[in-house]
Structure 1
């Protein structure tokens, strides 16, 4: 099996799109596509970064053995992505969470930061505000929560999360897998 095919299979198993893998690795969707088709070869640093995001070590990538379930995750297991243009940082707490029923992240907003708008889905989302305050725009209605408060909703309408505070805000978000 070619490395590209194995990377693609692993990405698909993790239920990531090429764009999502690119976001988490600071690579473009086009470059991920080239790697998966063996049209380009990544540097060792890029390859190790991709494997880290996919939640697998190089030894595991080249091994055929089945892995035991991981229970405890450390800070170094997390993956960071910073979107300077929109003023937010995503921290994926569990590398392979996108293949699970829920995906926990910590979202940190800069002043005036806003997260992308999501289309309606059957996903359920829990948000706990750690610092500052955030607003959820769900359809035509806006809901706000401050430090120590939580929100829980089914994402059946377009929705977006924005910083509602005059400074930084931080929230723990856990979303379930969306089947629509």
Structure 2
């Protein structure tokens, strides 16, 4: 394992410069640079300090987890059961518990609606792929058509309804933690 390279990738994935990481760890920028270039070694305590500043720990850093899955094919979709009549929902990717987003494809038959969700943490984003939907937030209706999108904090009661009596509606709905 190339420790320096892995630290560099973690730092960059967090949007930090070497200077910012140095400030968060009370280390010098030159030490961070030498470490990322594998020109110096470090103690376990220093590595733990750096990993804590990068939002991870030793176990995760040294785990032998398999390569991150990048592409999720149509056949990988996971159907969600116990949906109201006329609503079909599919998780678009697996292992959503470890990710900060939960993308779902929601298909609403004519006149169908999702169950009303109560307040919860996070944000929600949606994009209407087909048809029209009514987005209800705390009893206020917003009408959206194909190509429209929505974004809101999930601190409101919310649901989607297909107002059409003839066409189904399809929405890409993403919950963001």
**CA deviation after TM superposition for structure 1 residue 82, in Å:** 5.5
Structure 1 match to 2:173: 173
- Is contact 1:87-1:114 (8 Å) kept? yes
Q: How far, CA to CA, are the matches of 1:66 and 1:82 in structure 2?
A: 30
Q: Does the Cα contact within 8 Å between 1:97 and 1:103 map onto a contact in 2? A: yes
Residue ranges of structure 1 left out of the alignment (5+ in a row): 1-63
8 Å CA contact 1:82–1:88 kept in 2: the answer is no
Compared CA separation, residues 117 and 84, structure 1 to 2 (3 A): closer
TM (norm. structure 2) is: 0.59
SS in 2 for 1:143: strand
Distance (whole Å) between structure 2 residues aligned to residue 78 and residue 71 of structure 1: 14
**What CA RMSD, in Å, does the superposition of the two structures yield over aligned residues?**
1.9
Structure 1 runs of 4+ with >3 Å offset:
81-85
Which residue number in structure 2 is paired with residue 134 of structure 1? 133
Contact 2:103/2:174 (CA < 8 Å) preserved in 1?
yes
Task: Report the CA distance between 1:83 and its aligned residue.
Answer: 5.2
Query: Rg bigger for which structure?
Result: 2
Residue in 2 aligned with 1:33?
none
Q: Secondary structure at the match of 2:161?
A: strand
Q: Which position in structure 2 is the counterpart of 1:95?
A: 94
Whole-angstrom distance in 2 between the partners of 1:172 and 1:76: 17
Show structure 2 runs of 5+ residues with no match: 1-62
Shift of 1:111: 1.1
Contact 1:129/1:171, CA 8 A, preserved across alignment? yes
Report the Cα distance in structure 2 between the residues aligned to 1:127 and 1:89, rounded to whole angstroms: 16
